[in-house]
Amino acid sequence: MSTVTITDEPLTLEDLLAVVDGAPVELADDVRAGIAASRTIVDSALARKDAVYGLTTQVGHGKDTRLTEEEIRGEQMFLVVSHGGGVGPPLPTRQVRAALAVRLNGIARGGSGASPAVADVLAAMLNAGVHPVVPEISSVGAADLGPMAGMAQVAVGLGLAEYHGEVLPGGEALRRAGIKPLMLSGKDGLALVSANGVSIGHAALVVARAERVADAADVAAALSMEATAANPSIVHPAVGRAKLIPGQAAAADHVRTLLEGSALLQPGGPRSVQDALSFRVIPQVHGALREYVKATRSAVTAELNAAADNPLVSVPDQAVISNGNFHPMVLAIACEALRIALAHVGQLSERRMSHLWDRCMQQMTGAPTEPLYGLQLRYPAAALFPELKQLAGPATLDTPPLDLGVEDHNTAAPLSVRKTDAAVGLLEDLLAIELLLARDLLRLTPTEPHLGTGTDAALRLVTEAITVADPRPDAVHRALRDRFPVRQVGESAANVRSAAR
């Protein structure tokens, strides 16, 4: 796996995800020089005894209380040790790696004032596979203080970490990996703790997953169109030209490519001049999902490459500046909007299943001769959609004031991202059932229609999943999600589309 080098250019989501998946990471020499220059400004502020938040003063409601010389020496370790609380299950390893990589890239932007040794330890932990064990719930989205402190504790030899499949004390994990524990100085502790690594890193994973589910939604819809002989006029290029929304055009192009070669495109292929809205507005609704996935990707990329520290070290201004860049507001709201778009796509899928079901009932003349898994999962699909709808509700407006009213606004970014991740999973579940139900109808149709290139490939993947699975409906559904997941269906369709071009 190629090494990801962090430079002064923006880090892409693809490079971040490569590190999450195990690619080694390193810092370019000019980035290391920038980190050192930032640290020099912190050292100068300390020498002048300036009042600097979290450096020579307490934090939170103690922001105006100056620290003694002795307290300054212990403040950075105190911040790391005192902020590491949390509840719930531990964060998954991929989210931990994402958070570590996000913080490393944030320090590389030069605004943290951390020492080069901090960046070195984070990179070493990623490269050696030392993964801090931290609870899922603790951050309110005004810097992910709790989980980032838990990760910082491992960097200094405390806390717990997973290393080669074994959970160990942080110091022992570092020892086995050959990493010397970090000695905190200057602003190092605050730089490690006051960051949104968990929210940003998790959101990057969600964006990648949502991009795949957007393709998979088109695949499921196209197969349902084949099964019901729907009218493909909805994806005529003139429709996209009449409404210049890029996501809508992309969804229509994808469905049209999937249907290439289909009997639906021939005269007399469609059953009707116009179908129900759950078919007719596929490009508009799926296009909206693509638009909000794109917006979320933009928000994540901006946060990933931001100098979002408080206080911010500005090398051009030779200053340390109190600010609110730790508030990932755009990212949090983008995830809120994305969940609404996911719910609308799920609603269309569930509505199309009603039409598939009705047609199946019309086609059945007796007991089926083979299991019809989509029919058996139709009611579970109806149970899934209300959950998806509930997740569409806002998360970002409910955090109470904290710390004597000083922290009286928070973004709830981690909750917003977690809810969005769950919503993507529920939509995957719905789309898998729609694919199975569309296959059921195609199997019940007396003369199976000639499918498009992409829809035929999707049908084969569904059939393969059924072939390898335990015959129970839940096992078949799981096989389609896991062994032949919806992600692969979407990627297969994308490959077909690329080949067609």
- Give the span between the Cα atoms of 264 and 449, in whole angstroms: 9
Instruction: Return the CA Rg of the chain.
Output: 26
The arithmetic mean of pLDDT across residues 477-495, rounded, is 60
* Residue in this structure with the two tokens 């490690």, named with its chain if needed: 192
Q: What are the beta bridge partners of residue 402? A: 407
Residue 440 has pLDDT above 90, yes or no: yes
Q: Which fold has domain 4-195?
A: Fumarase C; Chain B, domain 1 (1.10.275)
| pLDDT of 168 above 80 | yes
Q: Band of the pLDDT at 366, cuts 50, 70, 90?
A: confident
Confidence band of 491 (pLDDT split at 50, 70, 90): low
The structure's pTM equals 0.94
- CATH 1.10.275.10 intervals, the chain: 4-195
Range with lowest mean pLDDT among 160-174, 307-321, 399-413:
399-413
Predicted confidence (pLDDT) at residue 487 exceeds the cutoff of 60: no
pLDDT beyond 50 at 495: yes
Using left for φ > 0, alpha for ψ between -120 and 50, and beta otherwise, residue 206 falls in: alpha
**Alpha-carbon 210 to chain mean position:** 7
How many helices (H) and strands (E) are present in the chain, helices listed first?
Answer: 20, 9
pLDDT over 60 at 262, yes or no: yes
Over residues 47-70, the pLDDT tens digits come to 999 999 999 899 989 898 999 888
Where, residue-wise, is CATH 1.20.200.10 in the chain? Answer: 202-500
211 pLDDT above the threshold of 60: yes
Q: What pLDDT does residue 481 have?
A: 79
Q: What does the alpha-carbon distance between residue 57 and residue 79 come to, in Å, rounded to a whole number?
A: 12
Whether the pLDDT of residue 485 is over 70: the answer is no
296: burial class by Cβ within 10 Å (0-12, 13-18, 19+)?
A: buried
H or E stretch including 166? strand 166-169
Do the Cβ atoms of 156 and 184 come closer than 8 Å? yes
The C-alpha atoms of residue 304 and residue 185 are separated, in whole angstroms, by 25
- Average pLDDT of the residues in 380-387: 96
What is the pLDDT at residue 1? Answer: 83
pLDDT of 486 > 60? The answer is no
Q: Is 60 within 8 Å of 403 (Cβ atoms)?
A: yes
The residue among 367, 376, 345, 350 whose CA lies nearest residue 440 is 376
Correct CATH for 202-500 of 1.20.200.10, 3.40.50.450, 3.40.50.300, 1.10.3720.10:
1.20.200.10
Q: What are the tokens at 149?
A: 């402190």
